[in-house]
Chain A
Amino acid sequence: MAKQQSREQGITLRGSADIVAEFFSYGINSILYQRGIYPPETFTRAQQYGLTLLVTADPELQRYLCSVVDQLKDWLYKCSVQRLVVVISSIESNEVLERWQFDIECDKTAKDESAPRDKSQKAIQDEIRSVIRQITATVTFLPLLETSCAFDLLIYTDKDLVVPEKWEESGPQFIANSEEVRLRSFTTTIHKVNSIVAYKKDSFP
């Protein structure tokens, strides 16, 4: 965080990876809060992107998110990540009910030593803010999660990536009979993130 703000001049590869990872951290927290996956009393307020966001205070969840986001940051830096998916599934039936998909387009030409990109921190933050706002707003039309739900994070990486310890390969976990809503996107000029939320179509018309 402090690292990014010190770089006022432009966006470097590492800075971009930080920004995007941070967005995911807040974005996932927002989804978990907004969708009621975790009890609202386990969240605390945090000011970010000019918004008041809710971040989990659950130590176990914090640990989990931290390890995923740290790993993600590394992959973002290496430009080997293609997509992050937050899968929300019913605990009882294991059925996938909701899928928040963040497609990441990496500019693989960006290197550490290449000149910083010309995009202001503020412009990026504005874009991120509108994505987070949209995540909040989608709650109004997403079907209510009737059963207690669990969530999982899937990261789509390049094929040649060595699977790190504690990580495993997974299926895409699609939703049968889903409806999709495309959300806004943002770009740091090195990483572009497109967001889509897919949810199980209501069986009642």
Chain B
Amino acid sequence: MTHFGFESDLHTLLRLDAPILNAPPARWQRKARDGPAAPGPATLSPMKPSNRAHGAGRTPGRTPGKSASKTQSTPSKAGGDRYIPHRSAMQMEVANFLLTKENDDSEDTPTKKEQQKTWAVNLNGFDVEEAKILRLSGKPQNAPEGYQNNLKVLYSQKATPGSSRKNGRYIPSMPDRILDAPEIRNDYYLNLIDWSSQNFLAVALDNSVYLWNYASGEIIQLLQMENPDDYVSAVSWIKEGNYLAIGTSNAEVQLWDIQQQKRLRNMTSHSSRVGSLSWNSYILSSGARTGHIHHHDVRVAEHHVATLAGHTQEGDSGDFAPIQTFTQHQGAVKAVAWCPWQSNVLATGGGTSDRHIRIWNVCSGTCLNTVDAHSQVCAILWSTNYKEFISGHGFAQNQLVVWKYPTMAKVTELKGHTARVLNLTMSPDGSMVASASADETLRLWRCFEMDPVKKKEKEKAGSAKSSIIHQGIR
């Protein structure tokens, strides 16, 4: 009952727009009228006569006067959870009059008129009483029949720009080759494959590293970790292709000579697993789970030359200092790649919670382009042969997508993997991409095959420079 009473009180309070008939006067009105001289008896509910009789009896400890005055001042406390005025103290007619008068529109105050006017101006954009809208009689003017706004042509956009154009080259939709990769670790944060300039594909399968010679098809097991619980978490070839750096789960960075199939160095500086490696001539940068990136000068005994600490979780391909920090991605960012022909352009792909590929201008820090990939972006690689890049994805399609840059149009999708793509790596000539997937296969896609004519030209140009490339690292 009390509950309903309170509710109806609230209701009446909220409905200020309608005149309230036979409603009790507002407390402040009654108070003003009655004055302190006539404090109403402290009753609790006019609806229950029994209650009225017990009104004073409810608080027997108090003197009647005190209790009455208390009820008057803070009725809600004295009378429980609500205040119910006494019917005999009400002047219904006066209250009704006062209340209806309050809501009567006929008696507008100047401020109210002002307000109405302002409303009118705001709503209609002009004051109805002060303006007249005129127009020349007749129909509105329009161009002669049959005229079509040809601006439409200027602005109309094809639904899929770029991609709908014939893209001029054939990309096989099937992988060129499928290799088994048993026990490949399904971990987003590892870098398990790398393709060397001497055409060796290094694959880390759990605790061993295999080398696959693309030219001969020969497979060599390069190493196996001594402790079966450890695993190889990153592989990276030096640019010249004669040394392989591996990162391990026990925080080591090892350097292997391929010719000799021997370990040259074991560099320990990290405190956690090394998930990414990157070479910059003789400086090897390693990113560990701790978020630290260490630079190792592999030529000297004191290999650890610098540390970068800016990440909170596993860093990736740490060959640059954080000059800019980008914060638009909503999830983990694993796929990061620098544009090979525009050195200030960086492509990044977000994880499951983000699913966007973003292109950044790192000089200005602006996001140049963004495209929703609709699935986790596990890896990004720029093509060196075309103005394109390829991204590897996770659930649901586990596909690879070739994108045109800068239009960001999809060139093609390469499907075949049955589990998410973990890593991508490109063949030395840039024509093939190897994808490692959690479905324990490696697939080689011939997606950036060059036009034979162009290829010859490039080879010619490349042979002139080859002497520089083959300089040793020492």
Contacts and interface: CB of A to CB of B under 8 A. Distances in A.
B136 A64 contact: yes
Contacts of A49: none
Contact of A159 (B131, B147, B150): B131
A91 B135 CA distance: 18
B55 to A, nearest CB: 59
Nearest to A60: B141
B152 interface: yes
Interface stretch (B79-87, B91-99, B122-130, B180-188): B122-130
B151 A155 contact: no
A38 B150 CA distance: 10
B135 A155 contact: yes
A146 B152 contact: yes
A137 interface: no
Interface in A109-142: 139
A89 interface: yes
Nearest to B124: A172
A144 B152 contact: yes
Contact of A161 (B125, B132, B143, B155): B132
Contacts of A61: 141
A167 B137 CA distance: 5
A46 B67 CA distance: 90
A151 B141 contact: yes
A167 to B, nearest CB: 5
Contacts of A82: 126, 130-131
Given A36-B149, A146-B152, A152 B141 contact: yes
Contacts of A150: 139-142
Contact of B149 (A64, A145, A159): A145
A149 B133 CA distance: 21
Contacts of B132: 156-159, 161, 163, 169
A157 B149 contact: no
Contacts of A139: 151
B37 interface: no
A148 B148 contact: yes
Nearest to A152: B140
B134 interface: yes
A166 B137 CA distance: 5
Contacts of B139: 150
A60 B46 CA distance: 81
A43 to B, nearest CB: 11
A144 B131 contact: no
A61 to B, nearest CB: 6
A36 B151 contact: yes
Contact of A68 (B125, B136, B147, B152): B136
A89 B140 contact: yes
Instruction: Classify chain A's interface size.
Output: 35 or more
B134 A163 contact: yes
Contacts of B147: 38-39, 148
A37 interface: yes
Contacts of A158: 130-132
Contacts of B136: 64, 67-68, 71, 153, 166-168
A38 B156 CA distance: 19
Nearest to A144: B155
Contacts of A167: 134-137
Contacts of B151: 35-36, 139, 144-145
A83 interface: yes
Contacts of A156: 126, 131-134
Contact of A170 (B125, B134, B148, B155): B134
Given A39-B147, A148-B149, A154 B125 contact: no
A151 B140 CA distance: 6
Contacts of A35: 151
A145 B151 CA distance: 8
Contacts of A89: 140
A205 interface: no
A87 interface: yes
Given A36-B150, A148-B149, A166-B136, A91 B142 contact: yes
Contacts of A155: 133-135
Contacts of B137: 166-168
Contacts of B124: 172, 174
Contact of A154 (B133, B142, B155): B133
A172 B126 contact: yes
A38 B155 CA distance: 17
B350 to A, nearest CB: 22
A40 B153 CA distance: 13
A101 interface: yes
Contacts of B133: 154-157, 169-172
B115 to A, nearest CB: 20
Nearest to A160: B132
Interface string A28-53: 00000001111110100000000000
A152 B135 contact: yes
Closest 9 interchain pairs by CB? A150-B142, A152-B140, A36-B149, A150-B140, A36-B151, A170-B135, A156-B131, A38-B143, A168-B137
Given A153-B135, A168-B136, 8 more contacts: A36-B151, A139-B151, A148-B148, A150-B139, A157-B132, A159-B132, A167-B136, A174-B125
25 contacts: A36-B150, A38-B143, A64-B136, A68-B136, A71-B136, A83-B131, A148-B149, A150-B140, A151-B141, A152-B135, A154-B134, A155-B134, A156-B126, A157-B131, A157-B132, A158-B130, A159-B130, A161-B132, A163-B134, A168-B135, A169-B135, A172-B124, A172-B125, A174-B124, A174-B125
Interface of A: 35-40, 42, 61, 64, 67-68, 71, 82-83, 87, 89, 91, 101, 139, 144-146, 148-159, 161, 163, 166-172, 174
